[in-house]
Amino acid sequence: MAEKNYKDLEREVWEKGLCTRCGACTAVCPADAFTFPPGSPAHPEPPRYCKMEADDVSCGSCYLACPRVEDLSLPEDPVGDYLLAVTAKATFPIPGRQSGGAVTALLVNALERGLVDAVVTVAQDPWTRKPQSVVITEKEALVAQAGSRYNWWVPLLAALKEAVVVRKYRRVAVVALPCAAAALARIRSSGLDLHAPYARAVRLVVGLFCTETFDYERLMEGKVRGELGIEPWEIERMDVRGSLKVTAGEQIFEIPLDELETCIPEGCRHCTDFAAWGADISAGAVGSPEGYTTLLIRTSAGRGFFEEAMNAGLLEVGEPVDLARVEALAEKKMARR
């Protein structure tokens, strides 16, 4: 197959509303040609300069990293393949944790034991609650950013270039939604020389269960601030369980999920992956009792990180996973195809 470039992405992905804004194209472009304009764009701006297009240089890096190209085969099981399913929780305090804090515990152990040098994830500004992709290298910062995000509509993997190319970290963990986990799976397996630095550096991908995410401007500015009259810095907690619950002080506000339809980006509407099939470990609250996290350990690398955290005493395993609950949501999302 002839190499494809950003013009093929534009035709096959962007124009069809399939872009997930995962940032994979931003990370792997050798010319740093991809940028996302301010606001809530549906896809990156077309590059003003492309080596492959302008200079006839062999590349195709952006196309081969995109999780929305080609007719990718779906797993037979909507949950995907895994080696082990457990419920677990952190054994140390994590003030902002959404469920069991198991993901934070895994990453804290990995940082403290030198299994990874950095964690690429999404953090949020404490005043505006606006999300941004970041590189975290300290336990304290990792714990401070613990908790679920419901507006991940940011190019997460753009920070991977900062971690690997700019700051030269050689052992990186990534916390990703299913779309970004799928992009990383493509990058790790492509065999492309331009992808090799990332493939070597990414040691662990933790994928988060996801039905959809929300656009920051539409959710926070439109619904929360505009309709509920709540300032972002007043919010103590947000949770989705049948509705969006927003806790501010002693009050809890609820927004029915059908009223949030306009906040869902178009790219999310085409996604069929609930359980992050491309991750080393998938994680979420579904299927676990209160205070625990469901972990689907998919690869030998994921098992290694899990066992290291267990041996260090930072993780505690609970009762078996209620897989029927996970499967129900996974099947519902896969039915979108």
pLDDT band at 73 (very low <50, low <70, confident <90, very high): low
Q: What are the structure tokens assigned to 181, written together?
A: 């986990």
Shared domain check, 51 and 153: no
- pLDDT tens digits, residue range 81-94? 999 999 999 999 98
pLDDT band at 1 (very low <50, low <70, confident <90, very high): very low
The SS3 assignment for 105 reads helix
Which helix (H) or strand (E) is 84 found in, with range? strand 84-90
Shared domain check, 227 and 206: no
**What's the half-sphere exposure (Cβ side, CA atoms, 13 Å) at 252?**
7
- pLDDT tens digits, residue range 18-45? 999 999 999 999 988 888 877 777 888 8
Most confident of 64-68, 249-253, 266-270: 64-68
- pLDDT tens digits, residue range 193-242? 999 999 999 999 999 999 888 888 888 888 888 888 889 888 888 887 77
> Does residue 190 have a pLDDT over 90?
yes
Longest dimension (CA), the chain: 61
Ordered strands of the 243-248 beta sheet: 237-240, 243-248, 251-256
Which amino acid, residue 35? T
- Tokens 């515990």 sit at which residue? 105
Q: Which among 179, 173, 182 has a CA at the least distance from the CA of 136?
A: 173
Q: Is residue 301 in some structural domain?
A: yes
Shared domain check, 276 and 137: yes
Shared domain check, 171 and 315: yes
Shared domain check, 160 and 37: no
Domain count, the chain: 3
Shared domain check, 320 and 279: yes
**pLDDT score for 217:** 86
Shared domain check, 118 and 245: no
Q: Find the domain containing 229 and state its range.
A: 216-263
Shared domain check, 186 and 136: yes
Encode 94-125: b = buried (16+ Cβ within 10 Å), e = exposed: beebbbbbbbbbbbbbbbeeebbbbbbbbbbe
Shared domain check, 330 and 243: no
Q: Is residue 108 in some structural domain?
A: yes
Shared domain check, 195 and 101: yes
> Does residue 71 have a pLDDT over 70?
no
